[in-house]
Amino acid sequence: MLAIIGGSGLAQLPVLEVTHRQVVRTPYGDPSCALTYGKLAGQNVVFIARHGYGHSLAPHEINYRANLWALHNQGVKGVIAIGTVGGIRPDMAPGRLVVPHDIIDYSWGRKHTYFEGPERPVVHAEFTSPYDHALRQRLLDAIKATGISGVRDGVYACTQGPRLESAAEILKLERDGADIVGMTGMPEAALARELALPYAHLCLVSNWAAGKGRQTQVEFDPAVAAKSVEALMRTLEACFA
């Protein structure tokens, strides 16, 4: 069984045939919300809304450790994380789907490891390639099968938020090598790695990053948003078919 973590605007998965919900507690506190079980294209899936059902949790308030631990505890074999991002690279236009291949983490002050405290060993998780190769390939194949214009690679910059970036900050991220920017990709990917859970990110570009386009606000153009969410759903269906 695979897990799906839904991001902004995806507190529910329209393509999921829900069978039941389960409240889970963890040694790290409560996850963002109850886990939703169901079938997607006939396959068992467990879903969690990263920001909670009512989108009540800001990126820095999310208990990433509890969310990943809860999913791991259900015995999932991998995690497909969905998130919206701002586009930095010229081909990362609003509406695009991107499957990033690498990460730069600019977030701070988040509980970002399971390996801390007196009872825990010091472990340095290997993170050269943050995303799972096979799971990324599955997403890329699904995008291809649906004929949607996706982008095969990209470096994901994770900022702290909840505010958006300044134009100068985006230029700095660009000089650093970042192609897209979001606020929730870390420590999620690293915690998945610590749990040895294959993890891949399916990103939806919702806006041009600050200074990169005329529209700077994070509000998604409703017409583009509707089309993109539809593309995302078709991609997920193809991924599980």
* Interacting residues toward ligand HPA by CB under 6 A: 84-86, 159, 164-165, 181-183, 206-207, 209, 218
Q: Which is nearer to ligand HPA, 181 or 190 (CB)?
A: 181
> What is the H or E stretch that residue 194 is in?
helix 188-194
Min dist CB 33 to ligand HPA, Å, is 20
Min dist CB 166 to ligand HPA, Å, is 11
Q: What is the number of the residue whose Cβ is closest to ligand HPA? A: 86
Q: What one-letter code names the amino acid at 209?
A: A
Among 230, 237, 223, which residue's Cα sits nearest to residue 39? 237
Q: Which is nearer to ligand HPA, 14 or 162 (CB)?
A: 162
Q: Which is nearer to ligand HPA, 24 or 178 (CB)?
A: 178
Q: 58, 162 in Cβ contact below 8 A?
A: yes
Q: Which is nearer to ligand HPA, 16 or 180 (CB)?
A: 180
> What is the H or E stretch that residue 78 is in?
strand 78-87
Among 49, 1, 3, 40, which residue's Cα sits nearest to residue 18? 40
Please give the backbone phi and psi of residue 92, each rounded to the nearest 5 degrees, phi first.
-95, 60
Min dist CB 203 to ligand HPA, Å, is 9
Min dist CB 205 to ligand HPA, Å, is 8
